[in-house]
Amino acid sequence: MLGIGYGMGVFVHQVQRVLPAQSSSGASAPVPPGTEYASVRELGEQMARPGGLTSANLVSYLQERIHKLDPKLSSIIELNPEALQIARELDLERANGKVRGPLHGIPVLLKDTIETGDTQQTSAGAFGLVGSAAPKDAFIVERLREQGAVILGKTNLTELAGFRGGPDGSSGRGGQTRNPHQAGAEVGGSSSGSAAAVAAGFAPLAVGTETNGSIIVPAAFNGVVGFKPGVGLLSRSGIIPASHRQDTPGPMTRSVFDAALMLNAMSGKDPHDAASVDAPQGIDYTALLKPGALQDKRIGYPVTFSANGESLPVDNSPQFRKTLEVLRAQGAVLVPVDMRLADASRYGELLYADVKDELNDYLAKREGLPVKSVSELIAFNEKRDGTDTDHQPTLKEINASTLTADERQPLWDAMIEDFRGTVDELIAQENLDAMVSDFDTNSYFAVAVAGYPGISVPSGKNEDGVPTSAYFFGARGSEPTLLAVGHGYEQAAQKVAKPSL
């Protein structure tokens, strides 16, 4: 699915955000102060009490909060006009003794690359993909609905998830997403709106997508938890694609525990996604999230980190130094390592060729859109936005790609194997349970190319008041361990920060 961490260039589009009229229905019952930052567990406990919070109350409360505050942030591209009615139906189920699971009645936001079989658009923020709604839910959306989640709306993003070329967090339909901690701070891409909305208390849960950095980077900049599963753990069917070798959806939440709950809900075998067929099934990703999870865990960390292209000692990063202190105090065994760099010299060329083939295939099959191919999308944008400025440089590079699938396959195989080695070698040599770094080391890039899992956990704020993050990653299949390590760090550090808005 589309989703690369950073965009390039500058472009300006007319903003078209779809926020239905504010509704007071269901808002008569008082909503406790601070509910906008309550965890899933806390919300479930409130809903379980006789006469307590209802899903309809919560949805209406969040809709009103979005109407009031999101004009400053542009994190939401479209609200689901059916959300309140769905919430009422789920409240009725609860009243009749049926509770589907921990997410029953809990609002969830989806990145605007994830299909929903309702009235909402799935456009990746692009006017060229606005037309008929998708015919059905993406697999992960089906799973969320089955578990009782309420799809609250779609979030803004870097247009075409960074593959058009433009500022992080900016799209034609949604405008420029702002960081809720500081309007002028970096917001990250491409799952910008999902991260900003969760940080701003617009929903407890959101789903982002990543090809390379698009969950981890905005989660770090906006001070929320972002979990990128290993490729194949969560189905990609029904999500606008980029490269099947790296694409994955993932949770964006305010706590590691809530991210684990979302993994429980969204995981499952999907016959329409070959990569998910052999993925582990039936795992409770909350099972290892217990006190003492860090005791005796062997965690590797890079002895240098990269800043502005220069390798510097870890001691030059005060935030990362504090992260190591917290881990050590919780009983973790910290192991300094030298993480080698794999050869990424042809990465962009290979990725763009994948995007061209996979996006062309998606557009050709999607009914009711103004365009049926990448070249038609470029022409559509030129007609709409003019040609005075090169406002879609990345999309043009993608369309100019000439590498065939047969030519790419051995090159991709060699590159992915090399990047996997950068993680596997260290874990095997040092008998590590996980690795930790500052996300600014760009270690997320290597993890993404390898198709391995990683999690961004808030680590506080820097001297400018902007969120910082610790990034934990590991080898294939290490999701349960990473969640346990991330949760242990989170509980000890207590660094989640609420923006003042």
Query: Would you please indicate which residues are annotated as catalytic (active-site) residues?
Result: 111, 190, 214
Residues 243, 351 contacting (CB under 8 angstroms): yes
Tell me which amino acid residue 409 is.
Answer: Q
CA nearest to 438, candidates 343, 331, 346, 339: 339
Residues 384, 127 contacting (CB under 8 angstroms): yes
The CB-side HSE value for 366 (13 A sphere, CA atoms) comes to: 31
Q: How far apart (Å, rounded) are the C-alpha atoms in residues 405 and 90?
A: 46
Q: List 371's β-bridge partners, or say none.
A: none
Residues 204, 261 contacting (CB under 8 angstroms): no
The CB-side HSE value for 101 (13 A sphere, CA atoms) comes to: 17
Q: How far apart (Å, rounded) are the C-alpha atoms in residues 294 and 456?
A: 16
CA nearest to 225, candidates 469, 474, 460: 469
Q: How far apart (Å, rounded) are the C-alpha atoms in residues 291 and 299?
A: 17
Q: How far apart (Å, rounded) are the C-alpha atoms in residues 361 and 365?
A: 6
Q: How far apart (Å, rounded) are the C-alpha atoms in residues 160 and 127?
A: 10
Residues 385, 11 contacting (CB under 8 angstroms): yes
Q: How far apart (Å, rounded) are the C-alpha atoms in residues 499 and 110?
A: 21
Per-residue burial over 398-407, b if 16 or more Cβ lie within 10 Å, else e, is bbebebeeee
CB atoms within 10 A of CB 386: 9
174: its two tokens: 């949604």
Residues 29, 76, 440, CA angle at the centre, nearest 5°?
120
Residues 115, 134 contacting (CB under 8 angstroms): yes
Strand bridging mode 150-155 / 107-111: parallel
